[in-house]
């Protein structure tokens, strides 16, 4: 594959020439990674669920509070998976690294949640489609060094290019987490981190992740 110096160039290459989505490879990589570090990911997910339980009892205010932290929390999963995948040092505190760049990540989550909610208001299928089209928004903001509007645009472009294959990928993610719910929610301690890991490996394979400039951390300086 031809090398580009920017995320935009890589995505344009994907859109112009197409790509092969190796879904089973991504799920295999995700399963292996999460199994090796299940106590770490399950512990963080349990903390996240405890927070959800408390704030969602506040009705509308709780839902708003959840949206405010959903972006950095999601970024935390991606950042820890990235550290492990690259053989870097990691610890529990790295799950909260997303809060160091709060505004762009909160904005990404807010936009994605708003658009997905509109889709689900129409019906289940439109909601699923919109969620699928936005599946790479967060990785693009975290790793791609691009702003929110570009991340929305590029996620849509990537998914639309191989929509049916991406639909299968998204359906497997949905079924995995439904299985987690059916085990009285306990299975989500495993399936939720695995889902983030699978999306990470898909993004890493398709778009690639450039080496960070310093301290092995993604560069967010473009948001300042």
> If you average pLDDT over residues 77-89, what whole number do you get?
97
Say what the pLDDT of residue 206 is.
96
- Give me the chain's average pLDDT, please: 87
CA quadruple 37, 40, 43, 44: dihedral, nearest 10: -110
Say what the pLDDT of residue 64 is.
76
Please choose, from the candidates 156, 138, 129, the residue with its C-alpha nearest in 3D space to the C-alpha of residue 81: 138
Question: What phi and psi values does residue 217 have, to the nearest 5 degrees?
Answer: -120, 150
Say what the pLDDT of residue 104 is.
86
The per-residue pLDDT for range 155-178, each reduced to its tens digit, is: 999 999 999 999 999 999 999 999
Q: At what angle do helices 148-161 and 124-133 cross, to 10 degrees?
A: 110
- More confident of the two residues 3 and 172: 172
pLDDT band at 103 (very low <50, low <70, confident <90, very high): confident
The per-residue pLDDT for range 174-214, each reduced to its tens digit, is: 999 999 999 988 999 999 999 999 999 999 999 999 766 54
Q: Is the pLDDT of residue 30 over 90?
A: yes
Residues of the chain with pLDDT > 70: what percent? 91
Residues of the chain with pLDDT > 90: what percent? 61
Q: What is the DSSP string of the chain?
A: ----SSHHHHHHHHHHH-----HHHHHHHHHHHHHHTHHHHHHHHHHHHHHHHHHGGGTHHHHHHHHHHHHHHHHHHHHHHHHHHTT----GGGGGGGGGGHHHHHHHHHHHHHHHHHHHHH-HHHHHHHHHHTTTHHHHHHHS---HHHHHHHHHHHHHHTHHHHHHHHHHHHHHHHHHHHTTTTTHHHHHHHHHHHHHHHHHHHT--PPPSBTTB---GGG-
Q: Is the pLDDT of residue 215 over 60?
A: no
- More confident of the two residues 64 and 191: 191
Enumerate the β-bridge partners of residue 81: none
Query: Rounded to two decimals, what is the model's pTM?
Result: 0.88
């Amino acid at each position: 594959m031809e090398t580009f110096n920017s995320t935009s160039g890589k995505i344009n290459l994907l859109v112009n020439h197409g790509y092969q989505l190796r879904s089973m490879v991504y799920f295999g990589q995700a399963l292996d990674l999460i199994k090796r570090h299940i106590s770490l990911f399950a512990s963080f997910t349990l903390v996240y669920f405890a927070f959800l339980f408390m704030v969602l009892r506040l009705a509308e205010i709780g839902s708003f509070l959840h949206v405010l932290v959903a972006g950095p929390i999601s970024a935390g999963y991606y950042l820890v998976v990235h550290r492990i995948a690259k053989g870097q040092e990691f610890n529990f505190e790295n799950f909260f690294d997303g809060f160091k760049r709060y505004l762009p990540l909160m904005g990404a989550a807010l936009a994605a949640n708003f658009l997905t909610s509109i889709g689900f208001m129409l019906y289940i299928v439109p909601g699923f489609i919109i969620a699928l089209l936005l599946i790479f928004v967060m990785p693009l903001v975290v790793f791609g060094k691009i702003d929110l509007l570009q991340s929305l645009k590029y996620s849509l472009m990537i998914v639309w290019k191989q929509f049916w294959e991406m639909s299968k990928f998204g359906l497997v993610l949905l079924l995995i987490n439904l299985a987690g719910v059916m085990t009285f929610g306990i299975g989500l301690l495993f399936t939720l981190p695995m889902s983030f890991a699978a999306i990470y490996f898909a993004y890493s394979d398709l778009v690639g992740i450039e080496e960070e400039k310093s301290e092995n951390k993604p560069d967010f300086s473009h948001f300042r």
